[in-house]
Amino acid sequence: MTRREGLVQRRDALRLLTGLGILAWPGGRLAAEADDPLPSLKEKYASDFAIGVSLGGNVPADYSPEELALIRGQFAVLTPENCMKMEHVARREGRFDFGQADAFVDFAGKNGFAICGHVLVWARDEHSPKWFFAQGDKPASRDLLLERLRTHIQTLAGRYEGKIASWDVVNEALDDAKEGYLRPSRWLEVAGPEFIAKAFEYAREAAPRALLIYNDYNNEQPAKRAKMLRLLRALLDKHVPVDAVGLQGHFQSGQVPFKALDETLVAIKGLGLKAVISELDIAMVPRDRWFADNGAHRKELSKSDPYKDGCPPERLERQAREYAELFRLFRRHARVIERVTFWNLHDGRSWLNTFPWKHTEYPLLFDRACRPKTAFREVMKAT
């Protein structure tokens, strides 16, 4: 008998005895119910979209039994947080490091998870190894850069062909600056805007059956959304094999962009593409000031840790309402949304504990002890 079957049997026996009036329980609650397995997010939303989570570090070696139980119970799709990024697998030319990525894919396969590969090209210089852009002492030519990109994508996506259901092919290629279109980078400078189309073409060759995704942040905001739609239309006009758009969804409590999301999902559907919510979290500590006024507030902010002793319950309740509202919205767009992935497993594992400065964060559905938060319960109730 499994642990779950044992619990169910014990609970049923207790229910029978209390029902017959043989046993009474204070407050009318059955003690065994406290041990009941959590209801499952992935089951609740199974007919709408898949529910995923990103996992960092060594998987499964770095995860506790409680964490592994949570992963298995709640999520259907896994995204590797870092181990498939260029800066991880391709630090040096001609030498690939697949140790962590292989372990990740193996774990997912043995445990019945689908995988979203992340990411083939991250269009930011700080995340692209320098050797890609150099030829001896000189800058690499366009042809050489594209050749290297092709080799990278064929090697990485080819290695896991048939095992990875979707790929974030290009990440964050749009510029945040008001007047800009594509983010200035060496990719753009050396290869021109075609590096994006080429990445999708190489990905299609290497992973013919995978869902190919363009992924970005704030791309639901009207100004950036307009740039994104321009990019997607240009790619589709040229028959570039892009299948879906990733809306990262790194939101802040008090500023969740419901209306912008709604409009963006309509626009994505209008293009005939799918959407994924690829990196969802709702931060409790606002971070806008960090990026404002040319970084003038950073010194002061880097010392601030407002919730180090705990997050006020009313804040967590607001977050719970925001999560529930989001899931209601996602559900209304279930025909276009393929998947909703949380960025990290629980509050203690969130990247936001160190971004953009070190502080204590509470952005997810589970607390540091893997216990469900109010937000989890509200998402489970959302209709």
Return the active site residues.
172, 279
Q: Give 173 or 382: the residue with its C-beta nearer to ligand GLA.
A: 173
Q: Is 201 in the site for ligand GLA (CB under 6 A)?
A: no
**Residues within window 98-137 making contact with ligand GLA, judged by CB under 6 A:** 118
Least distance from C-beta 115 to ligand GLA, angstroms? 15
Q: Which of 201, 279, 361, 378 binds ligand GLA (CB under 6 A)?
A: 279
Residues 145 and 110 sit within 8 Å (Cβ to Cβ): no
Nearer to ligand GLA, 141 or 354 (CB): 354
CB closer to ligand GLA, 251 vs 324: 251
Distance, CA of 117 to CA of 114 (rounded, Å): 10
Alpha carbons 1 and 254: distance in angstroms, whole number: 47
Joined tokens for residue 114: 């689908």
Residue (100 or 248) nearer to ligand GLA, CB: 248
Q: Compare residues 258 and 351 and give the one whose CB is closer to ligand GLA.
A: 351
- Residue 17 Cβ vs ligand GLA, minimum distance, rounded to whole Å: 50
How far, in Å, CA of 128 to CA of 185, rounded? 10
C-alpha pair distances (Å), 190 with each of 87, 133, 142, 187: 19, 8, 5, 6
Max CA distance (Å), the chain: 85
Tell the burial category of 192 from Cβ atoms under 10 Å away from its Cβ (0-12, 13-18, 19+): middle
- Looking at residues 134 to 163 of the shown chain, list those that interact with ligand GLA (rule: CB under 6 A): none
| Tokens of residue 322, six digits | 């925001």
- Pick 54 or 253: Cβ nearer ligand GLA: 54
Q: Work out how close the CB of 343 gets to ligand GLA at its nearest, in angstroms, rounded to a whole number.
A: 6
Structure-block tokens of residue 155:
């090697």
Interface of this chain with ligand GLA, residues 213 to 232, rule: CB under 6 A: 217
Give the nearer residue to ligand GLA in terms of CB position, either 246 or 372: 246
On whether the CB atoms of residues 275 and 247 are closer than 8 A, the answer is yes
Q: Within its chain, how far is the Cα of 253 from the centroid?
A: 18
3-state secondary structure of 253: coil
Sign of CA dihedral 270, 271, 276, 279: negative
Please state, in angstroms and rounded to a whole number, the distance separating the CA atoms of residues 77 and 216.
19
Per-residue tokens: 231: 């990019």
d(CA 324, CA 316): 12
Residue nearest ligand GLA, Cβ-based: 351
Q: Which of 171, 218, 264, 353 binds ligand GLA (CB under 6 A)?
A: 171
Place of tokens 């802040």: 252
Q: How many residues bind ligand GLA (CB under 6 A)?
A: 6
What do you get for the CA distance between the two ends of the chain, in Å? 34
User: Is there binding between residue 67 and ligand GLA (CB under 6 A)?
Assistant: no
Options 166, 218, 219, 248; binder of ligand GLA; rule CB under 6 A: 248
**Smallest distance from ligand GLA to CB 349, Å:** 11
Q: CB of residue 351 vs ligand GLA: minimum separation in angstroms?
A: 4
Q: Minimum CB separation from ligand GLA for residue 244, in Å? A: 15
351 forms part of the interface with ligand GLA (CB under 6 A):
yes
Length of the chain: 383
Taking the complex as a whole, how short is the minimal distance between the CB of residue 171 and ligand GLA, in angstroms?
A: 5
Place of tokens 């204070």: 26
- What residues make contact with ligand GLA under the rule CB under 6 A? 118, 171, 217, 248, 279, 351
